[in-house]
Chain A
Amino acid sequence: MFDDFFVRALIAGIGVALVAGPLGCFVVWRRLSYFGDTLAHSAVLGVSLGVFLEVNITATVFIVALAISGLLFLLQKRGDLASDALLGLLSHSALALGLVAIAFMTWVRIDLQALLFGDILSVSKIDLSFVWIGGAIVLAVLFSIWRQLFAATVSEELARAEGMNPDRSNVIFMILMALIIALSMKIVGVLLITALLIIPAATARRIAATPEQMAIFSAIIGVVSVVGGLYSSLHWDTPSGPSIVVMALALFVLTLFPITRLLRSKKEG
C-alpha cells in the first residue's frame, strides 16, 4: 500500500502531526514560535548543503538547525542584541544564504516551490521510515523529559531550586526542535513548519484544562489537519503544505464559535 504516493504522504503527515502536537505545545508555552521559524528557515541552507555534499538532506537540515540554535545560544550570552533582532538576523540570513547557494549550484535543479511549500509527490519510502522512526524517538525522549521540561517551562528558578536540571532539558528540547524541523520539512515545506507546531496547539488550548490534555488534543487536531489538508490538496491540486495549514486554521476558527464554550462549560460543570 506504500506504493501509492498519496498513502505515503498521508502516513508521513500523520507521523509528523503526532510529534508536532506535543512539541508545539512547548513552543507556544515558551513563546518560541519565532525560534521555530528561524530553525525552519535554516532548513533551506541545510538542503543546499546536503545537495552540495551529495549526502542525505534530512541529516544536513538537522545539523544546520542544531548549529543555528547553538549559535543563537552563544550570541544571546554575549547580549549585544535583543533576542528578537538576533532571531530575525539568523532566520533571514540562513534563508537568504540557502537560496543564494542553491542558485549557484547550476548543475542541480532544486524545486524551490516544493522546498518552501511542501510536496506530497516527493515523499519516498525512506522518508516515511525517517518520519516514523525519528518521530518515535522524538516522542520517547519528550516523554522521558516531560516532567523536567514542564517544570522548567512553568518556572526555571523553581525547577532549579528544587533539584531539577533545566539547562539539560532546555538543550534536549532544542535538539528535538531541530529534529522535527528536519522530519516535517518535506510534508509542509520550510515556510509553514511553525504553523504545524503552533496552530494545533493554539486550537487545543481553547478546549484543554491541563497541559497533558492540551498535548494530546494538539496531536489529534494536527492529524485531522494533515488528513483533511492532503485530501483537499489532491482534490483541488493545491500545494500540500498550505492546504494542511488552511485546514488547521479552519479547525482553529471552529473553536472560536460558542459551541465549544458550551461543550467546555458542560464538561467543567
Chain B
Amino acid sequence: MLSDKSVLVSLKNAGVYRDGRWLVRGVDLSIDPAEIVTLIGPNGSGKSTTAKMILDIAELNEGSRSNHKDLHVGYVPQRIEIDWTLPLTVERFMTITASLSSQEIDDNLERTSVKHLKNSQIRNLSGGELQRVLLARAIARKPNLLVLDEPVQGVDFSGEISLYELIKEIRDELQCGILLISHDLHVVMAATDRVICLNGHVCCQGTPSAVAESSEYKHLFGERALGALAVYQHAHDHKHLPDGTVEHADGSITEHCHPDDGHHDHAHEKEKSNV
C-alpha cells in the first residue's frame, strides 16, 4: 500500500517513434491509486505501446513520464512465448520476479481457478489457461499498479466475466491502480472508472456512463451496444498520415490532433460537453 495518494504514473505529451512512423504520440495520461483505467481503440492504435510507455519499457521519443517513488508493478503482457528448451512449471513461473511462499502460490492460482495446473509445463497450457496463470502471477506480487494487456483473450465467455469481477475485487483489496487494455466493450464499460479511446493519440476520454450516453459513443459503438459481436469499427473524422501528422476532414494538416483544436466539427465537441 502506498504512503500517500498521489498519482502513480503519468505521461505528458508522450510519443514513440519506430521504423519511420509514430506508433502513438501526444498521449497525456495519468493513473491514480485504486483507479481502473481502460484503453480502447482499433488494432494498431497504440494501446500496447501506451501500456509500455506507462511501464517504462518503451523508450519515449518525445514527451515525458514520471512515476510515484514507491511504484510496484504487476504486468500481464499481451503474449509470452516460452521456448521449448526451457522447462518451466506454472509453480516456478509464479516466482520469476518475486519470492512467494508455496501458500501464496496456491492462493493466487486458486483465485484464477488454475491451481490444478500448478505442476504443468507453461508451454503446454491453452491460451485461456495461460492468461489465468499470467494474471495470478501478476496479482501475487501485490502490486500498486497492475497493467493488463488484453487479460481475457482466449478465455471462455463465462470465465471472462468472472475474471473482470476478480480484477475489480483485486482493486478493492490491494487499492491498486489498474490499466486495462481490452477489446471487449460492454464488459469493460461496466468494470471501469475511466475510458480512454486511442487511435494514434488520445481521441476522447471520460467516465463510462458519460461516454456511453454521448452520441459519439452510440455512433462509435452502436453495433456493439445492440449486442452484435461485430468487429469494433472506429469512426473517424481525421486521418493519420505515415509521418505522424494528422489530416482533418476540412483538409488541413497538423502535427497533433486534439478535440479542441478547431478541426473537429461534431463528435469530439459533443463528447466533451457530456464528460
Contacts and interface: CB of A to CB of B under 8 A. Distances in A.
B47 to A, nearest CB: 15
Contacts, number: 72
Nearest to B134: A158
B96 interface: yes
Contacts of A151: 96-97
Interface in A229-269: 268
Nearest to A166: B57
A154 B82 contact: yes
B87 interface: yes
Contacts of B55: 157, 160-161
Interface stretch (A50-58, A132-140, A183-191, A209-217): A209-217
Contacts of A202: 85
B72 A163 contact: yes
A158 B72 CA distance: 13
B89 A209 contact: yes
A153 B86 CA distance: 10
Contacts of A208: 87
Given A157-B77, A158-B75, A161-B57, A210 B89 contact: yes
Given A160-B56, A164-B97, A154 B86 contact: yes
In the complex, which of the residues B56, B74, B88 has the most CB atoms of chain A within 10 Å of its own CB atom? B88
Contacts of A213: 87
A157 B121 CA distance: 21
B130 interface: no
Contact of A154 (B56, B72, B88, B141): B88
A154 B96 contact: yes
A174 interface: no
A54 to B, nearest CB: 42
Contacts of A164: 97
Interface in B47-72: 52, 55-57, 72
Chain B interface mostly: loop
A28 interface: yes
A210 B97 contact: no
A159 interface: yes
Contacts of B72: 163
A211 B80 contact: no
Contacts of A155: 77, 80
A19 to B, nearest CB: 20
**Interface core residue of B55, B73, B96, B141 (most chain A CB under 10 Å):** B96
Interface in A24-38: 28-29, 31
Interface residues of A, number: 27
A150 interface: yes
A150 B96 contact: yes
A162 interface: yes
B147 interface: yes
A41 interface: no
Nearest to A27: B85
B21 interface: no
Nearest to A159: B97
B87 A211 contact: yes
A158 B85 CA distance: 19
B260 interface: no
A8 interface: no
A106 B86 CA distance: 48
Interface in A124-173: 147, 150-151, 153-155, 157-164
B219 interface: no
B31 to A, nearest CB: 14
28 contacts: A29-B85, A31-B83, A147-B96, A150-B96, A154-B80, A154-B82, A154-B93, A155-B77, A155-B80, A157-B55, A157-B75, A158-B75, A158-B77, A158-B96, A159-B97, A161-B55, A161-B77, A162-B73, A162-B141, A205-B87, A208-B87, A209-B89, A209-B121, A211-B86, A211-B87, A211-B92, A214-B87, A268-B119
Instruction: Give the 9 A-B residue pairs with the shortest CB-CB distance, closest first.
Output: A161-B55, A161-B75, A162-B97, A151-B96, A160-B57, A29-B86, A208-B87, A28-B85, A210-B92
Given A158-B80, A161-B147, A162-B141, 14 more contacts: A147-B96, A153-B86, A154-B86, A157-B55, A157-B57, A158-B97, A160-B55, A161-B55, A161-B73, A161-B75, A164-B97, A205-B87, A208-B87, A214-B87
Interface of B: 52, 55-57, 72-75, 77, 80, 82-83, 85-89, 92-93, 96-98, 119, 121, 141, 147
